[in-house]
């Protein structure tokens, strides 16, 4: 059953690392956008649109990690094999 | 991890068909949209009131966005893009009503939407440029074409993947966060999360529609 403990660890640490990088990336993007709007408030509409696309692109990295974590937790392809092996070892 | 009691799931069990929840909820969203369109266009007036006002505001917003990102050529693709926007928006928002489930929180619905965008991009490209659309994949230098071609193909195949996974991850993640909050503190605690859900619903609709626009605009422009 150590397998499932490692799965939990992998999902948690993976999600943490993924959101760490994504957070820094999005923070940098928003910093530049806010600076741009502060210098030229007239361009705020265009900056907002561009920033949204950029944020969505960066965010998808964290979303991929989230999907992988969900696969590890809820739809792990190896669960049946591991349970079978564990059952064989118990007998 | 969805809402413990789904109205349409219960209805579907009463008539013993084996449809997925996302299919029945998608039909529900389609019904809502048809009803909205009917109510808005039943009696069109010069000075809009009520329902017509709301729909006109939504349509004008999408039209302006297309004008900004795609230029005058994009007008032809307005029906498809507006359908995407309205469908995804209503699908996302429906998840905030207890007893209903957003069809966009299932990968199948999103894959269908993203593959439609993917197919549409290339159909538009071939319709606009003929065989010379392949120049889009070749890069500027002919000698490097085989290398660039492989990279471009991978890049184009990644588009439907990222489009569908982004929408799916956001909506499904929101559902899971909401369920965890409800399990921890059922009273008042999930409300801020639901408020953020409204924001996420609008932003994801905006992003999906905008990316679809950008992909189609990329197929429309001349090869560099």
Backbone φ, ψ for residue B222 (5° rounding) = -70, 150
Q: What angle separates helix B107-129 from helix B78-94, to the nearest 10 degrees? A: 170
> How confident is the model over A13-45, as pLDDT tens digits?
999 999 999 999 999 999 999 999 999 999 888
Q: Does A79 touch chain B (CB under 8 A)?
A: no
What CA–CA distance (Å, rounded) separates A60 from B219? Answer: 23
pLDDT digits (tens, 9 = 90+) for B59-104: 898 998 898 888 888 888 999 999 999 999 999 998 888 888 889 9
Q: Tell me, what's the pLDDT at B95?
A: 85
Q: What is the mean pLDDT of residues B42-51?
A: 75
- At residue A75, the pLDDT reads 85
Q: For position A10, which CATH number holds? A: 1.20.20.10
- Mutation for B interface: A56, A64, A68, most B CBs within 10 A: A56
Give the residue on B whose Cα is nearest the Cα of A68.
B169
Q: What is the pLDDT of residue B5?
A: 76
The answer to whether the Cβ–Cβ distance between B173 and A64 falls below 8 Å is: no
Number of Cβ within a 10 Å radius of residue A49: 15
- Read off the pLDDT of each residue in B12-37 and give the average, rounded to a whole number: 86
pLDDT on residue B224: 63
pLDDT beyond 90 at A12: yes
Instruction: Give per-residue pLDDT as tens, B4-24.
Output: 777 777 887 778 777 888 888
CA distance B153 to chain A (A): 19
Question: A16 lies in which domain range?
Answer: 2-90
Query: Do B8 and B100 meet the contact criterion of CB atoms below 8 Å apart?
Result: yes
Count Cα atoms within 13 angstroms, Cβ side, for A34: 6
pLDDT of residue B49: 74
A58 contacts: CB under 8 Å, gap ≥ 6 = A22, A25, A26, A29
Cβ contact A49–B162 (<8 Å):
no
Q: What is residue B2's predicted lDDT score, i.e. its pLDDT?
A: 64
Tell me the three state secondary structure of residue B19.
Answer: coil
Q: Is the pTM above the cut of 0.90? A: no
A9: pLDDT strictly greater than 60 = yes
pLDDT at site B209: 92
User: Residue B97's CB: how many other CB atoms inside 10 A?
Assistant: 11
Mean pLDDT computed over A65-69: 92
Q: Phi/psi of residue B97, each to 5°? A: -85, 125
Judged by phi (left if over 0) then psi (alpha if -120 to 50, else beta), residue B102 lies in beta
What is the predicted pLDDT for the residue at A48? Answer: 87
- pLDDT of B1 strictly over 80: no
B218 touches chain A (CB under 8 A): no
Closest CA to B98 of B168, B173, B8, B209: B8
Instruction: Calculate how close chain B gets to A56, using CA atoms only, in Å.
Output: 7
Would you call A60 and B162 a contact, using CB atoms and an 8 Å cutoff? yes
- B159 has a chain A CB within 8 A of its CB: no
Q: Give the pLDDT score at A28.
A: 96
What b-and-e string marks burial along A28-37, b requiring 16 or more CB atoms within 10 Å of the CB?
ebeeebeebb
User: Does the distance separating the beta carbons of B207 and A53 come in below 8 Å?
Assistant: yes
A30 to chain B, any CB pair closer than 8 A? The answer is no
- In whole angstroms, give the CA distance from residue B157 to residue B149: 12
Under an 8 A CB cutoff, do B165 and A70 touch?
Answer: no
The CB density around residue B124, as the number of other CB atoms within 10 Å, is: 21
Phi, psi of B185, deg, nearest 5: -130, 100
Share of chain A above pLDDT 70, in %: 100
Instruction: Give every CB contact of residue B10 below 8 A, 6+ residues apart in sequence.
Output: none
Name the nearest CA neighbour of B174 among B198, B145, B156, B149. Answer: B198
Structure confidence at residue B13 (pLDDT): 79
Number of structural domains chain A divides into: 1
Question: pLDDT band for position A77 (50/70/90)?
Answer: confident
**ipTM (interface pTM):** 0.79
Residue A82 has a pLDDT of 86
Q: What is the DSSP letter of B222?
A: P
Express each pLDDT in B195-207 by its tens digit.
Answer: 888 988 998 999 9
B160-173 average pLDDT score? 91
Confidence grade of residue B223 (pLDDT, cut at 50, 70, 90): low
CB contact under 8 A, B210 and A70: no
Q: b/e map of B184-201 (b: 16 or more CB within 10 Å)? A: eeeeeebeeeeeebeebb
Q: Between B165, B173, B210, which is nearest A60 by CB? A: B165
């Amino acid at each position: 059953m150590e397998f499932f403990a490692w799965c939990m660890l992998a999902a948690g640490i993976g999600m943490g690392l993924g959101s760490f990088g994504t957070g820094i990336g999005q923070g940098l993007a928003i910093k530049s956008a806010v600076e741009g709007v502060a210098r030229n408030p007239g361009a705020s509409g265009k900056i907002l649109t561009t920033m949204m696309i950029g944020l969505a692109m960066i965010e998808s990295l964290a979303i991929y990690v989230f999907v992988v974590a969900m696969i590890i937790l809820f739809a792990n392809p190896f669960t049946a094999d591991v349970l079978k092996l564990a059952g064989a070892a118990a007998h | 991890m969805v809402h413990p009691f789904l109205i349409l799931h219960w209805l579907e069990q009463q008539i013993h068909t084996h449809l997925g929840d996302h299919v029945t909820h998608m039909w529900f969203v389609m019904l809502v949209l048809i009803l909205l369109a009917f109510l808005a266009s039943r009696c069109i007036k010069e000075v809009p009131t009520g329902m017509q006002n709301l729909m006109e505001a939504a349509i004008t917003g999408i039209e302006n966005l297309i004008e900004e990102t795609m230029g005058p050529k994009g007008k032809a693709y307005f029906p498809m893009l507006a359908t995407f926007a309205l469908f995804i928006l209503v699908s996302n928002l429906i998840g905030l009503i207890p007893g209903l489930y957003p069809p966009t929180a299932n990968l199948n619905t999103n894959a269908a939407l993203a593959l439609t965008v993917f197919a549409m991009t290339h159909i538009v490209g071939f319709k606009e440029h003929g065989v010379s659309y392949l120049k889009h994949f070749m890069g500027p230098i002919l000698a490097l074409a085989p290398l660039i071609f492989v990279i471009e193909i991978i890049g184009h195949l990644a588009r439907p993947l990222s489009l569908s996974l982004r929408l799916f991850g956001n909506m499904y993640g929101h559902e899971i966060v909401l369920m965890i909050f409800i399990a921890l503190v059922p009273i008042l605690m999930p409300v801020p999360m639901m408020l953020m859900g409204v924001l996420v619903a609008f932003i994801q609709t905006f992003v999906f529609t905008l990316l679809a626009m950008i992909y189609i605009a990329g197929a429309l422009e001349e090869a560099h």
